[in-house]
Amino acid sequence: MKRIIALAAGAVLALGSGAALAQQDAKALATGVCSACHGPEGHSISPVFPNLAGQQPAYIILQLEAFRGHARGDPNAQAYMWGMASQLSDVTIKGLADYYAAQKPSPGEAADPALLAEGQRIYTQGIPTQGVPACASCHGPNAAGAGAFPRLAGQHPDYLVAQLVGFQSGTRANAPIMANVVRTMSAQQMKAAAAYAASK
Ligand code: HEC
Ligand code: HEC
């Protein structure tokens, strides 16, 4: 009996320190590995690599699970993120999400005023004649996102455009809500909406 209690106490201790270790692991991973592409504290320099700073933690968790399970399978996801996510435990994923969510978001990028004005119309009102809903209804008035709806503010505009194209062409095929949103959008409309959201 004594031995069983000692074993159980040992297991609880091991679990406790395991979670603490995973938090440390997450920060070490983020600053030592993920930073090679996503930049220090989640501010990347190339639009191929999304900024992660200030991203919604629930969204980060969903995406890392989708890379790990191969549900998000556009070419860049396969090339860069499938391998990265394959070894991540649920606890480490949670730690990574908390780490990035706590970083200060990148500032919005400036863009051509005419493009921004067109983007603002789409973002706030949608395109009723084409059945496109207002982006703000899910991503929020300031594009900060909420829960499973990602932050778009401060993201690289070219990354956002690439994702919209992926939703439309079906290469990022695990997002039925967004596939429906972009179904009728032109390349110019996507560019404008992305520029406006990224500028916030
Ligand atoms: C070798 C480069 C590289 C490394 C290292 C890397 N990533 Fe990525 N990551 C990418 C690319 C490229 C994408 C965009 C994939 C796409 O276009 O679908 C991405 C996308 C993501 C996304 C989705 C963001 C969004 O807005 O949808 C998350 C979350 C993410 N990475 C987390 C991580 C974490 C955590 C690590 C470290 C464990 C990591 N990445 C390491 C290249 C990298
Ligand atoms: C009904 C809710 C809803 C509306 C309306 C909506 N979105 Fe989204 N959006 C989502 C969800 C949910 C996701 C996450 C998709 C996933 O699970 O991969 C997303 C993802 C995105 C992404 C990918 C971000 C990243 O970091 O990879 C972009 C870009 C985007 N939305 C832009 C837009 C734009 C532009 C509009 C308006 C034209 C819009 N969204 C309208 C729900 C919505």
Question: What is the band of 24 on the pLDDT scale with cuts at 50, 70, 90?
Answer: confident
Instruction: Kindly report the average pLDDT of the chain as a whole number.
Output: 91
With a cut of 50, say whether residue 1 has pLDDT above it: no
Question: What is the band of 6 on the pLDDT scale with cuts at 50, 70, 90?
Answer: very low
Ligand 1 centre to CA of 85 (Å) is 9
What is the mean predicted confidence (pLDDT) over 80-96? 95
Question: What is the band of 10 on the pLDDT scale with cuts at 50, 70, 90?
Answer: very low
With a cut of 60, say whether residue 12 has pLDDT above it: no
pLDDT of residue 7: 42
Question: What is the band of 25 on the pLDDT scale with cuts at 50, 70, 90?
Answer: confident
Ligand 2 centre to CA of 70 (Å) is 19
pLDDT of residue 11: 41
C-alpha to C-alpha distance for 112 and 108, rounded to whole angstroms: 13
Task: State pLDDT tens for residues 33-72.
Answer: 999 999 999 999 999 999 999 999 999 999 999 999 999 9
Question: What is the band of 21 on the pLDDT scale with cuts at 50, 70, 90?
Answer: low
Ligand 2 centre to CA of 170 (Å) is 14
What is the mean predicted confidence (pLDDT) over 127-156? 98
More reliable by pLDDT, 25 or 167: 167
Question: What is the band of 118 on the pLDDT scale with cuts at 50, 70, 90?
Answer: very high
By most ligand atoms within 8 Å of CB, the mutation choice from 44, 65, 139, 163 for ligand 2 is 139
CB 66 within 8 A of CB 58: no
CA of 52: how far to CAs of 116, 170, 195, in Å? 23, 23, 18
C-alpha to C-alpha distance for 81 and 95, rounded to whole angstroms: 17
Ligand 1 centre to CA of 81 (Å) is 5
Task: State pLDDT tens for residues 165-200.
Answer: 999 999 999 999 999 999 999 999 999 999 999 999
Residue nearest to atom 27 of ligand 1 (CA): 63
C-alpha to C-alpha distance for 91 and 177, rounded to whole angstroms: 28
Question: Taking CB atoms and a 6 Å cutoff, what residues make up the pocket around ligand 1?
Answer: 29, 33-34, 36-38, 48-50, 52, 60, 63-64, 74, 76-77, 80-81, 84, 96, 150
More reliable by pLDDT, 20 or 99: 99
Sign of the CA dihedral 115, 171, 125, 159? negative
Both tokens of 84, joined, read 């990265």
Exposed / middle / buried, residue 19 (Cβ in 10 Å: 0-12, 13-18, 19+): exposed
C-alpha to C-alpha distance for 41 and 104, rounded to whole angstroms: 8
C-alpha to C-alpha distance for 82 and 69, rounded to whole angstroms: 8
C-alpha to C-alpha distance for 77 and 58, rounded to whole angstroms: 18
Both tokens of 18, joined, read 């395991």
More reliable by pLDDT, 198 or 12: 198
